[in-house]
Amino acid sequence: MKIPHEKLEQCRVNLYGYLSRHAEEDGGHLFTVNATRSLTYREALALCDSIASEFLARGMKRGDLVALRATRSPDTALLALALSAVGAVVVNCDAHFPVKNYVADSGVDISPDWWLTNERAGGGLSAEGNWELAHGEEEGKALLFGSYPIDKEAVRAAAAGYDPEDLYMIIFTSGSTGKSKAVTLSHRAVIANPVDAMPLFEEDEKDVAISILPLNHVFGFAVVACSVFSGHALVFPPEIDVDTVLSYIEKYRVSVLYSVPTFFLGLLADGKHKTADISSLRLGLMAGGPFTEQQMSYIEGELGLRLMPGYGMSECVGVSTMRYRDPVSLRAAGVGRLYPMTEVDILGEDGEVLPVGSEGEICICGMTMMSGYYHNEEETRAIYDREGRLHSGDLGYFDADGILHVSGRKKDLIIRGGENLSAVKIERALSDLPMVRQAVVVGMPDEKFGEIPCAAVILKRGETADEAELKRALASVLSGHEIPAHILIVESFPLTSSGKPDKNQLKKLF
């Protein structure tokens, strides 16, 4: 794979470098805004320099692991940028839990050098202020957060010492279908995603994005990275309920919305989007879960934006999407074409590369790949092959237009009486029914068949249907053994912190 020189050069600059560049070129441009304050790029750089100066004065060094309570707030973005300047590694922690508990309960062999949290602050998952920094087992001390005198010489020296391959971030996988692991990402891996994606999305400094995803997950932090790379504004609503999000889109003329299918569908469920002025929306990126062509066309039509599919994972930030100018017929066909700096082979059971149209495991090489699992060489070796390809565990195929389709997960297969059933195929068949808004399928133990498919379904507003009716409707699109043995009608799904349906919790319903 030959990568253009310009992109290689862009990937050698870290997030702090892009913040500095935009502050110098257009310092008065809006960087972040929330319910309490707004910051220009110039003001954000000054804050980051002050925070970085305080980190360095307290003894933080390049390569130190810093466990950060990743609240969905401008504070988290600023702290991550300051840590980028220092050369420390951000250990992203779920804001639902105290940072030490979260790290201890992850099951990962990791011992952060520093703890950075504001657990005492109000504001819940969007909390700002009241930050404390603790070194090792020492008692936490208040962080001055912008009031510390700037030592430009020390910050510039620290920032100049960075290498693009240095670790920058550790992301804990959600564990929605298995055990959590700690994914390590380099500065290069984090910035390569916007380097590739922004030209495809035609996203630039004129855009305004909104942050509604948790920043301790790769998709949520990618929204921050894309904003910093592009030099545009990023809006942080205090809550992510439908009313608040719609009001912030209207108030700040938001043009870019990234989220998971669950959120997009929920945004439309009550029809409130029709009462808000959301005409500023032009681009949506939908990733992080399966969706149907019907759902994608419906969301695009209702929100009046151009919706892009996306496929990625913690282990490889971005893999595929479409181009902004592509017609909806192509954009709704799958999860998109490959990013320019990414290569994918579809491999069969014996490791052979399969032709177009054949389903196999999606195996990836690219600039956004992880450096490995932290302190887990066995799992790291297991996911890479001799050619350096990352085995995603996802099943898929390429169509004749070069569009990637994800058909399921190897470990999400339901083995019924020795026959492999795709949970994703069954979910899509259910979601295509006119009365169904969303569906999730899990495999449950069965005495006769070993395992059987079971489904939980959310109906569209105003629709009624029972289990028997849904099964009859599926009979024309699924074979008899694919039709779920049990279908539950539910009001909502239990979700992981990244907004995906939590299949482990859903299994308890059956």
pLDDT, tens digit (0-9, with 9 covering 90-100), for 228-262 = 999 999 999 999 999 999 999 999 999 999 998 88
CB neighbour burial string for 373-388, b if at least 16 within 10 angstroms, e if fewer:
bbebeeebeebbeeee
Cα dihedral 19, 264, 503, 97, rounded to 10, equals: 40
Residue for token digits 């290498």? Answer: 163
- Per the document, the length of the chain is 510
Looking at CATH, the fold of the domain delimited by 5-398 is given as Rossmann fold (3.40.50)
Domains 5-398 and 417-507 belong to one CATH topology: no
Task: Kindly state the tokens that stand for 374.
Answer: 């932290």
User: Residues 237-243: contacts with CB within 8 Å, 24+ apart?
Assistant: 237/34, 237/35, 237/126, 237/210, 237/211, 237/212, 238/34, 238/35, 238/123, 238/126, 239/126, 240/72, 240/212, 242/266, 242/267, 242/269, 242/270, 242/272, 242/273, 243/272
Strand 360-366, strand 390-398: pairing: antiparallel
- Phi, psi of 69, deg, nearest 5: -70, 105
Residue 461 three-state SS: coil
For the chain, what percentages of helix, strand and coil (3-state, to nearest 5) are there?
A: 30, 25, 40
Q: Which residues contact 245 (CB under 8 A, 6 or more apart)?
A: 210, 212, 237, 267
Question: Is-contact 474 429, C-beta < 8 A?
Answer: yes
Tokens 């309570």, located at residue: 69
The pLDDT value recorded for residue 176 is 44
Q: CA-CA distances (angstroms) from residue 286 to 84, 124, 209, 401, 481?
A: 28, 26, 14, 20, 31
Task: Say if residues 278 and 301 touch (Cβ distance below 8 Å).
Answer: no
- What's the pLDDT tens digit per position in 372-424? 999 999 999 999 999 999 999 999 999 999 999 988 777 677 878 767 788 88
Instruction: Specify the DSSP class assigned to residue 501.
Output: B
Is the four-CA dihedral 312, 317, 320, 326 of positive or negative sign?
positive
pTM of the predicted protein model:
0.85
Tens of pLDDT, residue by residue, the chain (510 residues): 789 999 999 999 999 999 999 999 999 999 999 999 999 999 999 999 999 999 999 999 999 999 999 999 999 999 999 999 999 999 999 998 899 999 998 889 999 999 999 998 887 899 999 999 999 999 999 999 999 999 999 999 999 988 999 999 999 986 544 467 999 999 999 999 999 999 999 999 999 999 999 999 999 999 999 999 999 999 999 999 999 999 999 999 999 999 988 899 889 988 999 999 999 999 999 998 778 888 899 999 999 999 999 999 999 999 999 999 999 889 988 999 999 999 999 999 899 999 999 999 999 999 999 999 999 999 999 999 999 999 999 999 999 999 999 887 776 778 787 677 888 889 989 999 999 999 999 999 887 777 899 999 999 989 999 999 999 999 988 988 899 999 999 999 998 877 788 888 888 988
Q: What angle do CA 167, 215, 403 make, to 5 degrees?
A: 80
Residue (of 510, 359, 508, 506) closest to 439 by Cα position: 506
Q: Where are the beta strands (DSSP E) in 148-230?
A: 167-172, 182-186, 208-210
CB atoms under 10 Å from CB of 414, counted, come to 24
Neighbouring-strand partners of residue 310: 321
Q: Angle formed by the axes of helices 15-26 and 218-230, to 10°?
A: 30
Query: Cβ–Cβ contacts within 10 Å for residue 358, how many?
Result: 12
> Domains of the chain: which residue ranges?
5-398, 417-507
Statement: 417-507 belongs to CATH 3.30.300.30 = yes
Helices (H), ranges, 12-73: 15-26, 41-57
